[in-house]
Amino acid sequence: MRSMKKWAAGLAPLLLLTGPQVQAAWQGVGAAMQAKRAGEEVSFVTAGGARVVVSFVTPDVVRVRMSADGKLGRDFSYARVDNAPAPTKIEFDDNAERTELRATTGGTRVVVQKRPALTITVYDAQGRVVVADDPARPMAFDAATGAIEASKQRDAYELYYGFGEQGLPTISREGQFLVNWNTDSYKYPVGTNPLYQTIPFFIALRDGRAYGLFFDNTYRSHFDMGKSDPRRYAFGADGGELNYYVLTGGAERTPANVLRDYTALTGRTALPPLWALGYQQSRYSYMSRAKVEEIARTFREKKIPADVIHLDIDYMDGYRVFTWNPQTFPEPKQMLSALHHDGFHVVTIVDPGVKFDENYAVYRSGRDSGIYVRDATGKELHAKVWPGICAFPDFTDAKARAWWGELYKKPLSEGVDGFWNDMDEPAVFSADDFREPALAQGPQKTFALDVQHAGDGDPGTHARYHNVFGMQMVRATFEGLRKLAPERRPFAITRAGYAGVQRYSAVWSGDNDASWDHLALTIPLLTNLSISGVSFVGADVGGFAATTTPELYTRWMQAAALTPFYRTHSAVDTDQREPWTYGGEYERSNRAAIELRYRLLPYLYTLFAQNEESGLPPLRPLAFDYPQDVDALLVADEYLVGRDLLVAPVVVQNQRARNVYFPKGEVWIDWWSGVRYEGGKTVKIEAPLERLPLFVRAGASVPTQPVIQHSGEMKNAPLTIAVAVGATGASEIYQDAGDGYAYRKGASRTIKISARADKVSLEIPKSAAYQRVVAVELLGLDAAPATIAIDGKTVRDAVFDAAGKRLHIPLPNENVKEISFVR
Ligand code: MIG
């Protein structure tokens, strides 16, 4: 342990409170004793015995590492795509007072002040401070416990978005103390922290300019975003290195640039199979094959579109993973092939706990392969979950992941299409009973902290690897599926995750509740998770943990209709919940919500293609696209779908009209009525039970299709491009086969549309392989134009819908270049 004598002069011992834990004896890193350049990194040894290393990952991304004992560990991250990227070239100046590092391009600078204590300030290309250490709280550590922490100066008006999955009703997280520790939180009340995911990344906004900060540490960690003191924020962890990245946002300093850079670092969600963007129906559980078939039949009979049915834990034989209950789910192959024939895909749940049962081949195989987690004494760890006593694969071991991945061979060959990884925080029951884990969070709900993990070559305790367990489980699932069925895009869903989980999986927000508060919560929760890199997100529609009400279910169906993962799911002790459960106007409204989803599926698909390319997600809070619009920054009850659609769901009981804020600098057109709204204003909008308030940005072109019953019918469905007139704008529509990887070799089509005040230009590459474009619809016209022409020829078969202010213009073929009209 370090002696007090090593302390640098001028530094008072720091006593900070780290949340609900004990008081830690913090020691500052102290003054920098020397700066040394090694390659493109600059390293400092400090008076406190620490080592600090500063480098650039890209010209806009600065990396800081601090190791309290002066030794740097293995440079390895579960979050990063590439653990050994080529270093960015730097220029370096050093004197007794300070060291400056500059990326050779881009203009970002880092100044390391050496005395009285080492502090770091990042400047953007214009010379503005991006973020600066607080000289009153330099980087610190507690040598006794291994805890580490950094503090940054904060402006009173700085706002913070992201932080993965947080149960907070506000959209910005300033003033919050957030803990990262993946936790099974059944029926979590609004405000609960932590939840299931750890994504220690946020986007800050100050004066309309953004930057990002990613704290890559897998221990239990925390963010104190000005709660203890509004003049600073802090982040730290119970152990490991203080390893973080500052993402400056480049020249524009936009949230989009920050997220692009963050997802370049931690990966992006590849295009999912098209069917996974369809409506999904789930229940804990559909108890038998007959029940599943009845559900499927009812969707088709009632003409309610749907693509996916989920089978929860009861499809298994005594909850043994990779088995079927022979009584209730006999002949699964037959069942699955009949469902496929009707246009359904099937997802089965797969938990991490493998029943400890000598007569169970999966258990034996895992034991013989030596892939199970071991307790502190080296014995196979056993804990109770659904099947009774279980063993657990150590997903931080490549061998265990490969073993696990192989297990999907059986269900894949039987015809299961996708997989749902649950309980992977990991969550276990308390030692002495089988009850639903109690709400109170305690150590009994997960592994003991001294349980051992392989850590992919760097063995460590559960305290260190807990937060990556779920991510590595679903990674094993994803990688197994990629290998077993290389011609298909995997579809996996996970409840737990860590930064970078988006490379492998969609995420749902766990055991939410059937309450209006929880419906409202979905917007700040999902939009913030989405701009934390996890773009394929959704919440259980209707609220998992209790019986919903007809009105709540309908409003939830609407609110979720344009969220990426769209699934109804309900708990075992709740009433039945399908879109038709409540009949009458509720059933009609639910059908309409799902139909809207299907009409806009080509747009959602395009957004997912763009997301793979740029990391910009389909689902966004208003602040993401309008960081300069102060009135948009705190809006928590509206969301954007791409740049072009603004959704303002009703999340309040009995409400039939609501206020909608329209972001500044745009004109917004009501999807249903064609009425135009000037941005920068709040307007009361009618919202009858059957309608989701939806607006399209003037200048945007959005692909639509007729209602279909499942995504398999899409190929032959004609496309109509809805153009919101009244502003200039350029849009693209992306099309491909909807599954497989031929698109990465160019098997896709991108249609380009540009809209101006009096004309729409089209560029439709010739191909018969994709949905045909058959019409253009002009939205937001007060009256039918006096004349309309396609490539100079007058059009006579256009139809004007005065109630919707919509003009439908059929196209003779896909060679059309320009539609002009006189307004
Ligand atoms: O302890 O598989 O969040 O979606 O239905 C509960 C049964 C275990 C929790 C999941 C939920 C799922 C349930 N699971």
- Cis peptide leading into residue 326 (ω within 30°): no
Whether 511 is catalytic: yes
Looking at residues 111-129, what average pLDDT do you find?
97
Lowest mean pLDDT: which of 194-208, 432-446, 609-623, 683-697? Answer: 432-446
User: Which residue's CA is minimally distant from atom 12 of ligand 1?
Assistant: 284
Cβ of residue 511 lying under 6 Å from some atom of ligand 1: yes
Whether 782 is catalytic: no
pLDDT of residue 24: 58
pLDDT of residue 137: 95
Query: Is a pLDDT exceeding 60 seen at residue 293?
Result: yes
Ligand 1 pocket: which of 184, 313, 422 to mutate (most atoms within 8 A of CB):
422
Query: Is a pLDDT exceeding 50 seen at residue 435?
Result: no
Q: How confident is the model at residue 34 (pLDDT cuts 50, 70, 90)?
A: confident
| DSSP at 633 | T
Phi, psi of 444 (to 5 degrees): -70, -10
Query: Is a pLDDT exceeding 50 seen at residue 6?
Result: no
Cβ of residue 353 lying under 6 Å from some atom of ligand 1: no
Q: How confident is the model at residue 201 (pLDDT cuts 50, 70, 90)?
A: very high
Q: How confident is the model at residue 430 (pLDDT cuts 50, 70, 90)?
A: confident
What integer best gives the mean pLDDT of the chain? 95
Query: Is a pLDDT exceeding 90 seen at residue 194?
Result: yes
pLDDT of residue 23: 58
pLDDT of residue 438: 41
Judging by beta carbons within 10 Å of its beta carbon (0-12, 13-18, 19+), is residue 611 exposed, middle or buried? Answer: buried
Ligand 1 pocket: which of 311, 386, 511, 518 to mutate (most atoms within 8 A of CB):
511
User: Longest C-alpha distance within the chain, in Å?
Assistant: 90
Whether 777 is catalytic: no
Cβ of residue 510 lying under 6 Å from some atom of ligand 1: yes
User: Which residue's CA is minimally distant from atom 6 of ligand 1?
Assistant: 436
Lowest mean pLDDT: which of 21-35, 200-214, 352-366? Answer: 21-35
> Which atom in ligand 1 lies closest to the alpha carbon of residue 495?
3
Give distance in angstroms: CA of 183 to centre of ligand 1.
13
E-state strands within 218-327: 221-224, 232-237, 242-247, 280-281, 308-311
Distance CA 458, CA 162 (A): 29
Lowest mean pLDDT: which of 19-23, 329-333, 590-594? Answer: 19-23
pLDDT of residue 823: 79
> Which atom in ligand 1 lies closest to the alpha carbon of residue 313?
2
Cβ of residue 593 lying under 6 Å from some atom of ligand 1: no
pLDDT > 70: what percent of the chain? 95
Query: Is a pLDDT exceeding 50 seen at residue 454?
Result: yes
Domains of the chain: 2-157+209-252 (2.60.40.1760), 286-490 (3.20.20.80), 620-693 (2.60.40.1180), 718-822 (2.60.40.1180)
Distance CA 203, CA 247 (A): 9
The continuous run of DSSP H or E covering 807 comes out as strand 806-810
Q: Tens digits of per-residue pLDDT, 206-263?
A: 999 999 999 999 999 999 999 999 999 999 999 999 999 999 999 999 999 999 999 9
CA-closest candidate to residue 444, choices 184, 264, 625: 184
Query: Is a pLDDT exceeding 50 seen at residue 40?
Result: yes
Query: How many residues in the chain?
Result: 823
Distance CA 334, CA 312 (A): 19
Query: Is a pLDDT exceeding 60 seen at residue 11?
Result: no
Give distance in angstroms: CA of 117 to centre of ligand 1.
49
CA-closest candidate to residue 172, choices 199, 205, 198: 205
3-state secondary structure 296-355: HHHHHHCCCCCCEEEECHHHCECCECCCCCCCCCCCHHHHHHHHHHCCCEEEEEECCCEE
> Which atom in ligand 1 lies closest to the alpha carbon of residue 436?
1
Query: Is a pLDDT exceeding 70 seen at residue 431?
Result: no
Q: Tens digits of per-residue pLDDT, 298-321?
A: 999 999 999 999 999 999 999 999
Give distance in angstroms: CA of 422 to centre of ligand 1.
7
Contact 193, 182 (CB under 8 A): no
